Structure 1
């Protein structure tokens, strides 16, 4: 059964609502209700194209009537899997608008009149009439009850019919199919004709012949042998059934050339430790290869080091100019086929004249818009949802004139992208660190360092970009401890050791070295990563480190044992930030990676006895390889609702950038 149903205006006025259980009534009245969460997390953020929103065990579905600015919302317990909700929403919209359209139109008009009066006058203006919704919709409760009862009875009848068909299904049909991996010679279980005993016998014999041809239990390994050998191997008790001798395990010593490498050869290839120069001091390194002077950040008046903003090519500036011209209604922008927005603008040009936009009007435009977003490397699923969101916001809108229609659709897309990309939480990581380090503590309690865990799939550049973040922190005067918790990948610890050595030689403001400001905490390979991270945080606390950066092993999102191990690390150590490191090159895979990483972290960390934790932000690597095809940023932000804190764009420690939402929107809209 339903838990809650409501009809409200987009301005926040609830016209009618019904709660079916005391718990639902209490939840609907609280700030953390599923409906309030829907408005905050989905509708305001521009994610109103999702079919279902889930929160705290509830599933919420909704629909719009844009010309009257109405929102119809239905909430129910997710476990129930109600099948009639979509039909209920459609019927609610049709009946409610048909019965009360004059009243609703007057109410919406009065709201617009009051809003316009407030903008033009500084004195408060009240509505001309007091709207009594209980009296206006007095007959709606009985109509709703009858509609809901009819749909529930219909759904119950469908379930009963399905159970009846399943009970009376002929057993001979189900039992007639022998197990096989070749469906071309075996009758389907869903066949409506029962197979006789002779056909079953032929199928079984054919199955035995195929198994003998594959070497019995040997499977496909015996496919390359002769039929006679294969048949003999499959006979029980045969001498040929003895297992094949396996090659002895162990690595064979590699030889370079005709002779084994000498100690001097090995020393020239060893980059793991500091090379010692004259006087026993470390040899001078080529610091110009570690820091790009042209990509160094800037210092604020307070002495803080800030990384640069990522600047797109000049084509994006042209796209911005073209967009501004279109929004102003400039004929030149729409008539110029060579402009950077010409192709996208030609899609909107199909909407001409003064009219009320319908789904048929918008369908070809939205399809072209979806293709444009996919060309910009936005995941297909996200492209569809963004376009559906834009379409739902425009259906029923009345626009007039060619340029006005063009601008309305384009502006809706720009606003949708801006809402999605705008951070809902602070992206000032330095502020979060300083706030924790300066917050008061009881005298008996020792302050823990600020901890950041870097997670992601294999090969995206977690360790490299962790070192770039470390350089940024060192430049801001913080002591950093790097915890080597990738105890699986060969060379992971040595890689971090080289980074720590290099970072120790880079000075703050180029004046002195950073030795003592960065250290590596490592316990080798094959150890428990959660335990190493806990020891590292304790070491950082005892040795006055400000920040602990936790490097983790790369893992695929579908690998449940490794995801559980990562969730254990999070649950045991409760890091202050969990940053997902992803590639800018990824397209559709970004949705799957982030969805499963975030879901696994939340589920497994909660089941491990800790607080439910998800991804707190993203760091997108290889940003300099995609030009203006920056759709991965939109896909990642859409999936998690979390901000992109940094982007990596090169091979030196200074190649770290921040993103501006307006620049990303320009790049996505540009053609």
Structure 2
């Protein structure tokens, strides 16, 4: 049973016709937080039109476009229902509606676009559609009846087969009937189960002759994993010997890089190499230190790059024939020349017209390291927004595809939340200071907390230190919480970073002791350490707490539950996923499962916390193959806050949408 159906105009948002089938469904389009309005914000505006299905608050929503008039047809129903006829209903409603009311719709859309001076209000259009309700009811009933008949026809043969008695087996026949075969299969399964039970109990299976050691009827290996049959036990692990002599105290001191010493390892003169003066950010007039914008190889600030007018044709030719096939290339050019030559006048774009162009664009995006699944959805979304539009010729269709692709990528990459971390930090600290001064209690100001999560080996600790350097340059006091209590050397690594950062800051504006490490060793509960670190930062006046977590694979449920426990216990202000720029399809899997696991396992009061932003590392290794940025942003809808592009503390960059778009469209 349907809950809601509506027809609206994409450009203006005007609802031309709507129908609710239940009292609760009447609120589907009325509330700003309704599923239908959420569909517009989270799917249509962000370019996720290739999904074809959207789920929100227990509803499933499907839609289709009529691009020639910028109309969208939406159907909503309960997610628990398996309605197989929704796509057929949308196609039929679209075809019938366009056929019956096209003159009125053309006049209405023309008045919205300002093409004609004549005003055609939504009230006039609804008056013209007065008979549509009866047509819709008749169409819906016909499609529901057809779906019910199809369902019965699929179930009928199986029912007849089960109720039909099997004929008796002829003594002269050598072919068993279906019922005899089923009985034999059941007997075989029963024998296998009995044999398995016997093995698990340590007894030989019926008819079996396998016996354990010593002639007993047990298994060869004891179920408990002990060596009771042989009476032997494993020898205890002995200490590994590295040399002939015991190391002296001076040797141990020379090899000790974990303690906070005041020798050459921690002198400011030796950590100056950890800051690259050429990659330092800029300081604004108000004193705020900003990291540099990322510039791709061969470009400079404000450089728009090469002209991309022929990107569609080049991508198409490269994907279909390659660079060293001039004969095939000329054949392809003549083929598409004939195809687009027919697109003269006011030709309506069809699926057949767009298919070769979109296939070439899909190949081009995947060469830029965009995940295949995301490339498919982006190109499908571009196609859906172009089918039905009118163009004038070859140049027009190239221009339409390029513009639609550029707009789609821009909508996906444009953040829906603020990426200004400094503003968020200052706002919370100012709000906390005001509330503390007004409160009668002596409670301290709560610090701003950021948790870094991700898989193993992507560079969480290193890039956490880069973020700490950026915060220190903005005169914040930073506490780093060592919550990776599993990986050997994780605490020592952060200790070295804190020592280096402290030496770099020195006696500057941030002051001595502006950065500190909070640690409790290994094998402890990470959630508890993070909670203690936040309390310590609140008591001692630290502004920001950076929580380092252990790397874990996205499929490891126990570790993901432990990470979700840390999130739900401490409720950090930001959860930043640290990923690599080198991954393609793997980025989609990692982010999807991290985001889903955090939301499912950290659910508090009915709502879990997901990923709030991304930091992509090793960006300097991919040149202009920046597809990972598009894949990660598409999966979560969250912005990329920073990218790492080197080994020094200043190798942190900000991404601009225009730069990513330029690199993705560059041949």
- TM bucket by the smaller chain? 0.7 to 0.9
Distance 1:171 1:252 in 2: 70
TM normalised by structure 1 equals 0.84
- CA spacing shift, 1:406–1:252, aligned 2, 3 Å: same
From 491, 495, 507, the counterpart of 2:505 = 507
1:482 alignment counterpart: 480
| Contact 1:348–1:365 (8 Å) recurs in 2 | no
- The reply on whether 1:652 has 2:654 as its aligned counterpart is no
- CA spacing shift, 1:240–1:400, aligned 2, 3 Å: closer
| Contact 2:268–2:503 (8 Å) recurs in 1 | no
TM normalised by structure 2 equals 0.84
| Contact 1:584–1:621 (8 Å) recurs in 2 | yes
Compute the displacement of 1:133 (Å).
2.8
| Contact 1:275–1:283 (8 Å) recurs in 2 | no
| Contact 1:630–1:668 (8 Å) recurs in 2 | yes
- The reply on whether 1:411 has 2:403 as its aligned counterpart is yes
Compute the displacement of 1:250 (Å).
5.5
| Contact 2:340–2:393 (8 Å) recurs in 1 | no
- The reply on whether 1:108 has 2:88 as its aligned counterpart is no
- CA spacing shift, 1:405–1:84, aligned 2, 3 Å: same
**SS of 2:505's equivalent?**
coil
Superposed CA RMSD: 3.5
From 549, 573, 578, the counterpart of 1:576 = 573
| Contact 2:60–2:76 (8 Å) recurs in 1 | yes
Q: Deviation per CA, 1:47-81, whole angstroms, max 9, x where unpaired?
A: 11112111111111100011121100011121213
Note the 1:24-423 alignment, pairs <5 A: 24-112=25-113, 114=114, 127=119, 131-160=123-152, 195=181, 237=217, 245=227, 248=234, 251-277=237-263, 283=267, 286-314=270-298, 320-323=305-308, 351-352=340-341, 353-354=343-344, 355-423=347-415
Q: Deviation per CA, 1:126-167, whole angstroms, max 9, x where unpaired?
A: 726675233211221112112222333333444455566666
Compute the displacement of 1:427 (Å).
0.8
Q: Deviation per CA, 1:542-586, whole angstroms, max 9, x where unpaired?
A: 111000111111122222222222222111211111111111011
From 538, 544, 549, the counterpart of 1:552 = 549
- CA spacing shift, 1:43–1:202, aligned 2, 3 Å: closer
Distance 2:182 2:59 in 1: 50
2:172 alignment counterpart: none
**Aligned residue pairs: how many?**
616
Gaps of 5+ in 2: 166-176, 203-207, 313-321, 324-328
1:625 alignment counterpart: 621
Q: Deviation per CA, 1:162-188, whole angstroms, max 9, x where unpaired?
A: 566666665999xxxxxxxxxxxxxxx
| Contact 1:319–1:669 (8 Å) recurs in 2 | no
**SS of 1:390's equivalent?**
helix
From 658, 663, 666, the counterpart of 2:659 = 663
- CA spacing shift, 1:196–1:415, aligned 2, 3 Å: closer
- The reply on whether 1:598 has 2:595 as its aligned counterpart is yes
Compute the displacement of 1:290 (Å).
1.5
Distance 1:229 1:194 in 2: 30
From 411, 418, 424, the counterpart of 2:416 = 424
Compute the displacement of 1:514 (Å).
5.7
1:473 alignment counterpart: 471
Distance 2:214 2:119 in 1: 89
Distance 1:348 1:308 in 2: 43
| Contact 1:481–1:547 (8 Å) recurs in 2 | yes
2:168 alignment counterpart: none
Compute the displacement of 1:657 (Å).
0.5
- CA spacing shift, 1:142–1:218, aligned 2, 3 Å: same
From 445, 448, 453, the counterpart of 2:446 = 448
2:612 alignment counterpart: 616
- CA spacing shift, 1:156–1:610, aligned 2, 3 Å: closer
From 487, 490, 493, the counterpart of 1:492 = 490
Distance 2:363 2:357 in 1: 10
| Contact 2:482–2:494 (8 Å) recurs in 1 | yes
Distance 2:180 2:303 in 1: 70
More deviation in 482-491 or 313-322? 313-322
Distance 1:293 1:447 in 2: 35
1:522 alignment counterpart: 519
Distance 1:239 1:370 in 2: 57
Gaps of 5+ in 1: 118-124, 174-190, 220-227, 328-336
- CA spacing shift, 1:55–1:202, aligned 2, 3 Å: closer
